[in-house]
């Protein structure tokens, strides 16, 4: 693959979590010769779940051939799971890319498109188990690779994920140089950023706070799983 022609596409959609997209974008945009595209149905500004407006750089119709496709996560992922235009675009691009990728609950969108059957994948810890409904094997790790599929866990893992993608495409030296340029040297003030290290009480509180939304996401995942099952039966 020539770095001079490397095209990386990030799906941009309403109510996504902006760091799921902007973390990887910052890494990818520093890769030598890479062209990074922000893709949505129109070129109108898209507003994230926390109110940040982001401009798409291309549309589904005008999107060039891609080497990498990345689907970020966020609350808007629920609507995407039954958005036929978006799912069709993802399926179409999945057939041409060298790497199919996601961050956070973007992997659930890949699953809804029927692209995770029998494959290892990850997402945010609060929704990790839902991947199994879509035929995937959930793996509770920060970055998971299964062949040409690379998935990242929740939100901040998008930077780790993107550095892993750059290492896969360009080699470790380039990825390490980008990490140094960004001064990506995490030293969080608290050791509670994952269920693996947070206290049981902290995990319980966070789970309780998100329970209503996770139930809503679960219904969307179950509907997507049913559509996949019905489609398989028809074929």
Residue 192 among the catalytic residues: no
Q: What is the mean pLDDT of the chain?
A: 96
pLDDT of residue 233: 85
From the candidates 63, 70, 104, 123, which is the catalytic residue?
104
71 φ/ψ angles, rounded to the nearest 5 degrees: -110, 110
pLDDT of residue 230: 92
CA distances from 194 to 26, 57, 138, 144, 217 (A): 23, 34, 16, 16, 20
Give the sign of the dihedral formed by CA 77, CA 16, CA 68, CA 185: negative
Give tens-digit pLDDT for 57-112. 999 999 999 999 999 999 999 999 999 999 999 999 999 999 999 999 999 999 99
Q: How many domains does the chain have?
A: 1
pLDDT of residue 174: 97
Which token pair is 217?
């996401």
**Cα 102 from chain centre:** 2
- What mean pLDDT is predicted for residues 21-50? 98
Which token pair is 18?
């902006």
> CA-CA distance, 168 to 172, in Å (whole number)?
8
Question: Is the pLDDT score of 2 beyond 50?
Answer: no
Question: Is the pLDDT score of 224 beyond 90?
Answer: yes
pLDDT of residue 4: 59
Q: What predicted TM-score, i.e. pTM, was given to this entire model?
A: 0.96
Give tens-digit pLDDT for 188-221. 999 999 999 999 999 999 999 999 999 999 999 9
Question: Is the pLDDT score of 229 beyond 60?
Answer: yes
Q: Report the side by side order of strands in the sheet with 35-40.
A: 58-59, 35-40, 7-11, 68-71, 99-103, 149-152, 143-146
Question: Is the pLDDT score of 232 beyond 90?
Answer: no
In CATH, what number is assigned to the domain containing residue 99? 3.40.50.880
Give me the percent of the chain exceeding a pLDDT of 70: 98
pLDDT of residue 5: 78
Question: Is the pLDDT score of 144 beyond 90?
Answer: yes
> CA-CA distance, 173 to 108, in Å (whole number)?
32
> CA-CA distance, 28 to 193, in Å (whole number)?
24
User: What is the domain range of residue 157?
Assistant: 3-234
């Amino acid at each position: 693959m020539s770095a001079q022609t490397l095209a990386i596409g990030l799906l941009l959609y309403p109510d996504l979590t902006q760091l799921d997209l902007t973390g990887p974008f910052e890494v990818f945009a520093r890769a030598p010769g890479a062209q990074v595209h922000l893709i949505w149905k129109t070129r109108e500004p898209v507003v994230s779940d926390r109110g940040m407006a982001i401009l798409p750089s291309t549309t589904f119709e005008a999107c060039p051939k891609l080497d990498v496709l990345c689907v970020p996560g966020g609350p808007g992922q629920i609507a995407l799971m039954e958005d036929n235009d978006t799912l069709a675009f993802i399926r179409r691009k999945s057939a041409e890319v060298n790497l199919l990728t996601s961050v956070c609950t973007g992997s659930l969108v890949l699953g809804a498109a029927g692209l995770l059957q029998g494959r290892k994948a990850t997402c945010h810890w609060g929704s990790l188990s839902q991947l199994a409904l879509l035929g995937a094997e959930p793996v509770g790790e920060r970055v998971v690779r299964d062949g040409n599929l690379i998935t990242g866990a929740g939100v901040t893992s998008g930077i780790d994920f993107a550095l892993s993608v750059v290492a896969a495409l360009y080699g470790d030296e380039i990825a390490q140089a980008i990490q140094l340029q960004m001064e990506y040297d995490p030293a969080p003030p608290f050791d509670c950023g994952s269920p693996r290290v947070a206290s049981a009480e902290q995990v319980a509180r966070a789970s309780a706070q998100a329970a209503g939304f996770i139930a809503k996401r679960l219904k969307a995942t179950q509907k997507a799983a049913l559509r996949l099952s019905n489609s398989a039966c028809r074929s």
